[in-house]
Structure 1
Amino acid sequence: MMKPIHKNTANQELHSNPQFYSTQAKRLDLCQGVVGDCWFLAALQALTLHQDILKRVVPLNQSFTEKYAGIFQFWFWHFGKWVPVVVDDRLPVNEAGQLVFVSSTYKNLFWGALLEKAYAKLSGSYEDLQIGQVSDALVDFTGGVTMTINLEEAPSNLWDLLAQATYRRTLIGCQTHPQEQRVLENGLVNGHAYTLTGIWKVTCKYGPEYLVRLRNPWGKVEWKGDWSDRMTLQDFKTHFVLLVICELTPGLLSHEVGQKWTYTVQEGRWEKGYTAGGRLQSPRDIFWKNPQFLLSVWRPEQGQRSLKPCSVLVSLLQKPRHRHRNRKPHLSIGFYLFRPQYRDGQRRLPSEFFWRNVPLSKPEEFLREKEVSKKLWLAPGTYLIIPCTSEAHQESEFILRVFSRKHIFHEIGSHSGVVFSKEIVDQNEEQNEFVTKLFEKLNASGTVSIQEFRDLWKQLMLYKEVFHKQDTNRSGYLNWLQLQAAMMEAGIVLSDNVCKLMVIRYGGPNLQINFVSFVLLMLRAENMEDAFQNLTQDGKGIYLQKSEVRCFPES
């Protein structure tokens, strides 16, 4: 049975004075309902510890009074893009009129229940939330990268990792042993997900003790062992099997403090008969048919000639093969890394290459997970990444992400272009022109000095900043009004009519302009401005003759 929250509907309301969110309420105010989505709620509890991250997923300016229309909007990072999900205000209740799924300890707060409904809509249904991993929800809330640690094989520096993770902007979850869910005598629950909410180092008579604090999504049933609602690190490693750390940037994995990271994202597909080559098994199998990605890495502070190893994080995510996330299980996935003596970035490497070369890195095991990731230390140079499934002829779409201090990354044998910045750049036919124009703007010789490259990079960073500032709905595109505002902020003023013409010229069929086209437009506009200043003496305006018009760059 569904019951509306607010009284402006015809049916009986859930509360006479509902609130969407309250800053006065305790952060950890949510309790799990009858559906087995403790993994989702554990990730959500971690999200509430970071208000700025929470606001991106849950716009907190929504209410049941101001401009209320009976709907609420939430945002999720869905395989490379932030997507909005809108739900109405009706929530499932039992015969007694009580919420059957997520609820708040504050009976008039409903943000958690509405967010769960939106996530169920994204996943297919409430039933599709019954089984999952904490890492899945953490990625969907942040677009970050997860690192999963098997606590039975925990590294010796586990406490240092936890200390760095809690100090930085990370979300942390953990899971108990995956037996049938039941409450143990010590108060823990088997087959259950928890949120790690804090750590402490305390001094005792016998020496230091390392403590962790956990939160049960049920809102009750806590650890009954030593240290009350906290437990020692040793007890934690004994009673929990997995620790999941989700970072917005991979600095924790590299131990490089205060460094800036860039990333690129590429979409791909394993298609039976074409690109579903499976794992590398025998010299003459079809492994070479898998999608091939070329990666060049270097250290930015020392240039491409530096021989010091570069920290690189590779993340492979597979998309669900059905609208309902649990209707078809995940495939077992992984990726290989090779070092080719290969300079042509357009032609795919043939099968002979894989007969004769041993991979630098390969999957220790193929995991049936939504995401697999691995940190690599690579000498500056060019590498080949091959994502694949454990068996040939298995079909699915995937997202391949690369994080490093500085790199260029693209697919071989496709029309995808190079993405230089942190943000995703759409793939289209103008990307080759994009790269060419950048260098043509500097000089006609095709060579670039260090200072020229620095100037170019500053321009790109400015373009990126103004573009994404105006892209308020995170769509990756600007309409003509947003374009006009972005160009004005970059120092170029266009009339309404001219701006509309620019969208027609540089935009797609939907009359919107992406980042690549925006950069092309900005470069040409600045070239035209330079040409104009060369022809006028006072900068106030001139009438041009036909011969003078030819001085302007073609558009």
Structure 2
Amino acid sequence: MHGTKHHLQKDFFLYNASKARSKTYINMREISERFRLPPSEYVVIPSTYEPHQEGEFILRVFSEKRSLSEEVENMIEADRPSKKKKGKRPSAKAREGSEEEKQFRNIFRQIAGDDMEINAEELRNVLNNVVKKHKDLKTEGFELESCRSMIALMDTDGSGKINFDEFRHLWDKIKSWQKIFKRYDTDHSGTINSYEMRNAVKDAGFRLNNQLYDIITMRYADKNMNIDFDSFICCFVRLDAMFRAFHAFDKDGDGIIKLNVLEWLQLTMYA
């Protein structure tokens, strides 16, 4: 390991042999081992015999000189959309997009009605009708509660519904996240495991630390540590919305925000 500060991917362990390991790797209450290693940088990886089990471990290091250690953590950040350049004429592709935009708006109008807004139940019908068309995506669809959460997280004006622009943003996000989910659901089971979720989060443009990955697993995974499509999308919608909310409150860009109790409750209770 060469001073890296990010979560190690599977390839690292495929191409880097272990320097020392326990002689007996069996399912026992306690396993202990002593190693003598030359001065260098090492990755220490405690593990349980069965996957996805929690346990405690003790690591004791003896060194001749003072040695500093720290947990490998990632920066907590999200990719933000780049600003569009001004002063350029619309390209042919942009004009095609404009026509597509009209068609998309007409579909939305049929769903939303005269008020041009949709509620959670209407959102659920739209999303589940689209999901059914993807035969390779094994899922039972979105729960109503999931769609309520999506509405709350995308509802910028507090109306309890989402308008065309909010729906368009959500729709584009879901399409891109669906591709990521299918990429990691290699066995077409309709779920991905908690380890694959780390890579999926990274592919979606979010960089989190170990504590947040653990929180995601506790919140969105089932008892077998698998995450289905519904939970996957809900997790990403929340991540995207919470990062946007934070940046909106972070006026000076110093990475610190200050909320009063009303702002805090509005942000957490409605979401």
Query: TM-score scaled by structure 2?
Result: 0.45
Greater relative contact order structure (CA < 8 Å, 6+ sep): 2
The structure with the largest helix share of the pair is 2
Query: TM-score scaled by structure 1?
Result: 0.24
The structure with the largest strand share of the pair is 1
